[in-house]
């Protein structure tokens, strides 16, 4: 199986003392995940670490990704009962499983996955996940509009998370897709999406040439915009990456209406200037 090129980055942000996010990057296994822990110092980071550890262990055994996430829920509950971390600790998770042709995204909570498809004209950003949150429920019911979501005072209330003692089992949502050339999947915690809207995310992905450059740009912009929470981002490149789309040149004025003829004329003009310069110097 061809490996997907990827990059992962995580930062505690500008207002938190510790980082409760945890990520998993196992390209040889075709598995990536972001877990956003909750419960405070020495609790949230324990929960998120248990989640990614369980996913790694279970998928190696051949356990399907949705089932592995369900087992992570039990593992966090058992750890809390055993005195590891703290009672009430929990975590969100969003995970990507990929092979040479297809991918599966599974999630619980409000960590997100986006699909970015690059094109010569820029590209398209599509949110693959739907938040398990109170605000998402209000949006689905029509009680609020899309313009109200980002600034809603209850936007951080989630309707389910891994490790919640009120849930015997979590309802794992999933979606599937077939890889196309020039696609990336972005996995991230809400520390990123709280600071960046979809338009900004799309522009930063459009401007980046590699998954590493994309992650760095996303993190730096989120920090610049406030960095109020832990920030984690992973960018995974399609195994069918192919040749990146070339954008049309817009810096040179059109002369003939033919791009190639114009380039030829500009090339001849440049050669003429160089020859005159050399003749003058000689």
| Residue 53: band (very low, low, confident or very high) from pLDDT cuts 50, 70, 90 | very high
pLDDT in tens, 238-281: 998 765 554 443 334 444 444 445 555 656 666 765 665 666 65
* DSSP collapsed to 3 states, the chain: CCCCCEEEEEECCCCCCCCCEEEEEECCCCEEEEEEEECCCCCHHHHHHHHHHHHHHHHHCCCCHHHHHHHHHHHHHHHHHCCCCCCCCEEEEEEEEECCCEEEEEEECCCEEEEEEEECCEEEEEECCCCCEHHHHHHHHCCCCHHHHCCCCCCCCECCCECCCCCCCCCCEEEEEECCCCEEEEEECHHHHCCCCHHHHHHHHHHCCCHHHHHHHHHHHHHHCCCCCCEEEEEEECCCCCCCCCCCCCCCCCCCCCHHHHHHHHHHHHHHHHHHHHHHHC
Predicted pLDDT at 204: 98
Predicted pLDDT at 261: 52
Report d(CA 53, CA 31) in Å as an integer: 12
Q: Which fold does the domain 6-243 belong to in CATH? A: Phosphatase 2c; domain 1 (3.60.40)
Predicted pLDDT at 249: 38
Record the pTM: 0.84
Q: What is the mean pLDDT of the chain?
A: 88
Report d(CA 54, CA 264) in Å as an integer: 59
pLDDT in tens, 126-152: 999 999 999 899 988 989 888 778 788
Cα-to-chain-centroid distance, residue 272: 49
pLDDT in tens, 193-250: 999 999 999 999 999 999 999 999 999 999 999 999 999 999 999 998 765 554 443 3
pLDDT in tens, 85-104: 998 999 999 999 999 999 99
Q: Where are the domains of the chain?
A: 6-243, 249-282
Do residues 206 and 138 touch, judged by C-beta distance below 8 A?
Answer: no
Predicted pLDDT at 252: 41
The residues that bridge with 163 in the sheet, in sequence order, are none
């Amino acid at each position: 199986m061809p490996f997907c090129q990827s990059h992962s980055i995580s930062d505690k942000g500008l207002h938190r003392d510790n980082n409760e996010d945890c990520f998993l990057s196992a390209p040889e296994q075709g598995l990536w995940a972001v877990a956003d822990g909750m419960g405070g110092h020495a609790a949230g980071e324990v929960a998120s670490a248990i989640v990614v550890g369980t996913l790694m262990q279970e998928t190696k055994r051949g356990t399907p990704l949705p089932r592995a996430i369900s087992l992570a829920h039990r593992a966090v509950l058992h750890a809390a009962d055993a005195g590891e971390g703290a009672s009430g600790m929990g975590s969100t998770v969003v995970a990507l499983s990929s092979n040479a042709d297809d991918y599966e995204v599974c999630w619980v909570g409000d960590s997100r996955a986006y699909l970015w498809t690059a094109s010569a004209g820029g590209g398209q950003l599509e949110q693959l996940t739907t938040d398990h949150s109170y605000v998402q429920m209000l949006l689905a019911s029509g009680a609020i509009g899309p313009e109200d979501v980002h600034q809603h005072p209850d936007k951080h209330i989630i309707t389910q998370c891994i490790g919640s003692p009120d849930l015997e089992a979590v309802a794992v949502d999933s979606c599937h897709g077939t890889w196309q050339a020039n696609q990336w999947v972005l996995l991230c915690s809400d520390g990123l999406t709280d600071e960046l809207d979809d338009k900004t995310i799309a522009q930063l992905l459009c401007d980046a040439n590699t998954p590493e450059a994309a992650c760095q740009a996303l993190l730096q912009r989120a920090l610049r915009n406030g960095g109020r929470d832990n920030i984690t981002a992973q960018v995974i490149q399609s195994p069918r990456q192919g040749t990146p789309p070339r954008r049309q040149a817009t810096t040179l004025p059109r002369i003939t209406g033919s791009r190639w003829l114009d380039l030829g004329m500009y090339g001849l003009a440049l050669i003429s200037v160089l020859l005159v310069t050399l003749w003058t110097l000689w």
